[in-house]
Structures are given as C-alpha cells and as structure tokens.
Amino acid sequence: MHLVLLSMEKSLTSRLHRFAAARVSPEEEFGLHLTLGVLALLLAMAGFARIAGAVAAGAPITQLDVDLANWLHVHAHGNDVLRSVLMVITQLHSTPGVLALTALAGWWLVRRDARHWMLTLVATVPGGMILNVLMKHTFERARPHFDEPILTLTTYSFPSGHTVAATLLYGLLACYLTRHAHSWGARAGWTLLACLMVALVAGSRLYLGAHYLSDVLAAMAEGCAWLSICVTGVSTLRRRQAARIARDRRTSTNLSEKN
C-alpha cells in the first residue's frame, strides 16, 4: 500500500512539474504567452475594479479629481498655444480619428503579411471602444462642470473613451513592434513611445476639462485588460493552428514511411 501511494505521489508530482514547465515554455500552445496574458489581464482588472470602486464610493480620489480638474481649467485658459495643440491631439483620437488610424495600421499590417495581427487589431480597437460605451452607461458619471468650459460634451465621463482607444491602438502596435524587435533597447523604446502617446492623449483630455484623473486611469486599466484578452486569444489560436498543422505533417510523414 505504501509503494502504491508513493508511486501515485511521484506520478502526481511529475504531472504537476510538466504542467508548470508547459506554462512557462515559449513553444507550447498554452505556454508562456498565455501565462503572461492571463497575469496581465488579472492585474488590469484588479486596477480597474479598485478605481471604479473608489469612484462609486466617493473615496478621496474623487476630491483629487475635482481639485486637479479645477487647477488645470484655470491654467488652460492662460495658454492658448498648448490648448490648441492638445485640441488637435484630442480630435485626432476621437472615434472617427481612431478608426482612421486603425484602418491605416491595418493596411500597414497587411502589407507586412501580418494577417493574424490585423485580426487582433480589428478585435482590439473597435471591440474595446464598444466595451467602453457599455462601461460609460454602466457607471453614468457626469463630466467635469465649469462656468466657461473649453469643451461641452453630453456623454458620460467614466472611463475615458479617448484614453481607452489610445491604449488599445498604441498598445497593440507596441506588442507587434516589440515582438519583431531585435534588441531589448528597441523593445524598451517602442514600449516607452506607446506609453508616452497614451499619456499625451490622456493628458489632453484632462487639460481640456473633458475628464477627471480617475476617468483616464480607469480607461488605461480597461484598455490593458481588453488588449490582453485579444492579443493572448489570437496568439493562442495561431499557435494551436500551427501545432495542428505540424501534427498532421508528422502523421502524414509516419504513414508514408510505413507504406
């Protein structure tokens, strides 16, 4: 009986070891890419839930939202040049602008024969923008209010649609470019550039008085969560397809050798 239990324990340990090794293997169908994708998803969802809960409960961050919005609004009226530049940036990342940028990025990916990435782009950006509309109608948070507003908008504020769209678009392009970069320096550079673009768009929404700080922070978390789902999902499908083709080829080769 002791030998049987010992054998079962060794077998279970061996299976757990193989399972853990497969989860961190870059070559497995459900390997390292899936592990990292799920981890990123969980972290982003936790961040979004924390911010959303604080906003719903009227936590101190909501007072910081109001104080920062009022401070930026006062300074925005004193700098016409910066306000004009940020207005161009915010218009470029409106729904029509982002869809145009997405179409341009899709054309570029097709030209590079990156069809799986083009599929990821289609699922990521338009899908994430639709998700954000649903989120807005779930929370129904009013936008910042000023006596002399720079922008007058009637839609809801939480989370920021511009920031979500920028996070999705530039995040996906960063994923593609870092995947094909040949050095860690290049990967860090593309990642930093994507983060700066998202921060620039988010900053423009804050400066122009269209959103609170928590709106753009929640949008970044929401965008990262949806990006993780789309990139990981399409990558897993591609890997499964490649593995199935490889198995079919091996089967055909073995049958040919037997015949």
- What pLDDT score was predicted for residue 154? 83
DSSP 113: T
Q: Is the pLDDT of residue 246 over 50?
A: yes
Confidence of residue 220 (pLDDT cuts 50, 70, 90): very high
Spatial distance between the Cα atoms of 127 and 233, rounded to a whole number of angstroms: 14
Residues 6+ positions from 225 with CB-CB distance below 8 Å = 40, 41, 44, 45, 48
Three-class secondary structure of residue 87 per DSSP? helix
**Residue 26: Cβ within 10 Å count:** 7
Secondary structure in 3-state letters for 173-206: HHHHHHHHCCCHHHHHHHHHHHHHHHHHHHHHHH
Whether the CB-CB separation of 224 and 232 falls below 8 Å is answered with: no
Q: What is the DSSP string of 4-34?
A: HHHHHHHHHHHHHHHHHHHHT-TTSTTSHHH
> What is the per-residue pLDDT across 153-208, written as a single tens digit (0 to 9) for each?
888 889 999 999 999 999 999 989 988 888 888 889 999 999 999 999 999 999 98
Residues 6+ positions from 88 with CB-CB distance below 8 Å = none
Spatial distance between the Cα atoms of 160 and 153, rounded to a whole number of angstroms: 12
Predicted TM-score of the model (pTM):
0.81
Percentage of the chain exceeding pLDDT 70: 77
Q: Is the pLDDT of residue 62 over 50?
A: yes
Through-space distance between the first and last CA atoms of the chain, rounded to whole angstroms: 47
Pairwise pLDDT comparison (199 vs 19), residue with the higher score: 199
Pairwise pLDDT comparison (69 vs 181), residue with the higher score: 69
Residues counted in the chain = 259
The sign of the CA dihedral 228, 234, 235, 240 is positive
Spatial distance between the Cα atoms of 162 and 94, rounded to a whole number of angstroms: 6
Candidates 149, 151, 173; CA nearest to 94 is: 151
Q: Is the pLDDT of residue 38 over 80?
A: no
- What pLDDT score was predicted for residue 25? 46
Spatial distance between the Cα atoms of 228 and 40, rounded to a whole number of angstroms: 6
